[in-house]
Structure 1
Amino acid sequence: MSEKAQSRDAGVLVIGLGRFGAAIAATLERLGRDVLAVEKDPALVQQWSSRLPVVEADATNPEALEQLGAEDFPVAVVGVGSYLEASVLITGNLVDMEMPQIWAKAISGEHGRILRRIGAHHVVYPEYDAGQRVAHMVSGRMLDYIEMEDGFAIVKMRPPRETQGFTLAESKIRQRYGITIIGVKPPGEPFEYATPDTRIGGDDLLIVSGDSGLLEKFAHRP
């Protein structure tokens, strides 16, 4: 392996600096990850050049990807979603380069199916996921919502009144509602992993996991 490849073992190639790609690239950079952004729009390149390592190139051209050393990155994010043809061509180029991990943005179910068929390892739907998350949050006392696979979710929420002042053993939340309280954060105090002796206060924040339908019912308790 070349020195260049070794230096990029934890690096991420981000293609497209629209809102989605730019947010990912900027966050990774802030986290100290090795990032290289690729964007063909000169205006966006200029906008981000003072904040990110960015190269002006057309990633639909496989030769352009080869010239900038894309094969040395173990992870690539295709942030181009609005232009279906470009999204598919870029993803196909990365597949042909045998990129170990390809994350690709999709704007519809059909778009996502195409990306998976040509070899994308992970397909994300930013607008759909954000809409689903907000819908859960505005419908009850949930403050945050992350859905995993097969209907399993983790939420941050305020405790229902019937649980306040009781320990988990006393309230029997898992037996009654089929969900699990992972942890509790009292106001001004650090997060604590939950035990049967954990007592829930009215101002606490709960981290709860379980089936999304059961979590919805629990969150709607008075």
Structure 2
Amino acid sequence: MTVVGLGRFGRSLAEELEKRGTEVLGIDADAALVQQVSETLTHAAVADTTDPQALEQLGVPEFRRAVVGIGTDLEASILTTSALADFGIPHIWAKATSRQHGRILERVGAHHVVLPEHDMGERVAHLVTGRMLDFVAFEEDYAMVKTTAPAVLAGRTLLESDSRRRFGITVVAVKHRGEEFTHASVDTVIRPEDLLIVAGRTRKVEEFAELS
């Protein structure tokens, strides 16, 4: 995999990928940033990432996955993403600093757009305003949350509680006290203080997490 742009986001991602056993080619126009990761990444190179020829010389078109971690320089972000798309790389992730930036990246060829600051802000907002223990949004209106089991479910199986019809959510997994998470089934009995992983429309999982 290649990671283009080795600022805080790009460097953190590249180093985590290496820890997980993925060989990474890190590229940045800033020699100082490249030097900082030269000992932790499989390969690191200094190059003008907006120049297709420079990227070709580094073998970038041969990669199937690429991440554009450039955030503050919008022009470089867009031109780099466009160059990767022109190479026909099948999986391109690109960091965006705003939704408008993200839409432009999608138009020039990004397959996946990441908004780290926005996503983290949304996640923390959900955690600090309610009973949720974790929150992950998958689409504009679909999310998964970790929350404590409401009293209305305690002592009943998921079939008996009919939570999907009553609350518009699906209980995906359950964690009893002192045990690990297990896949939930219709026969799973919910106990007081169980932890639940729940999926559904964002508003529905928010409402469910607020049940006492």
What is the letter of the counterpart of residue 31 of structure 2? P
Structure 1 segment 61-140 matched on structure 2, within 5 A: 61-140=51-130
What is the letter of the counterpart of residue 47 of structure 1? Q
For normalisation by structure 1, the TM-score amounts to 0.89
Alpha-carbon offset, residue 122 of structure 1? 1.6
What is the letter of the counterpart of residue 86 of structure 1? A
Equivalent of residue 165 in structure 2, options 172, 175, 179? 175
Structure 1 segment 161-200 matched on structure 2, within 5 A: 161-200=151-190
Alpha-carbon offset, residue 15 of structure 1? 0.5
Aligned residues: 211
Cα distance in 1 for partners of 2:11, 2:59 equals 20
CA contact (8 A) 2:3 2:27 kept: yes
Local SS of the residue matching 1:180: strand
Cα distance in 2 for partners of 1:191, 1:212 equals 22
Local SS of the residue matching 1:195: coil
Alpha-carbon offset, residue 46 of structure 1? 1.9
What is the letter of the counterpart of residue 196 of structure 2? L
Alpha-carbon offset, residue 36 of structure 1? 1.1
Structure 1 segment 207-218 matched on structure 2, within 5 A: 207-218=197-208
Confirm whether residue 148 of structure 1 aligns to residue 177 of structure 2: no
What is the letter of the counterpart of residue 34 of structure 1? E
Cα distance in 2 for partners of 1:81, 1:138 equals 27
Note the residue ranges of structure 2 that are not aligned, 5 or more in a row.
none
Residues 34-71 of structure 1: per-residue CA shift (max 9 Å, x gap): 21111222222222122112222221121210111001
Alpha-carbon offset, residue 150 of structure 1? 4.7
Quote the residue 2:193 is aligned against. Answer: 203
Percent identical residues: 53
Cα distance in 2 for partners of 1:39, 1:202 equals 52
Cα distance in 2 for partners of 1:188, 1:71 equals 49
RMSD: 1.5
Cα distance in 2 for partners of 1:32, 1:151 equals 34
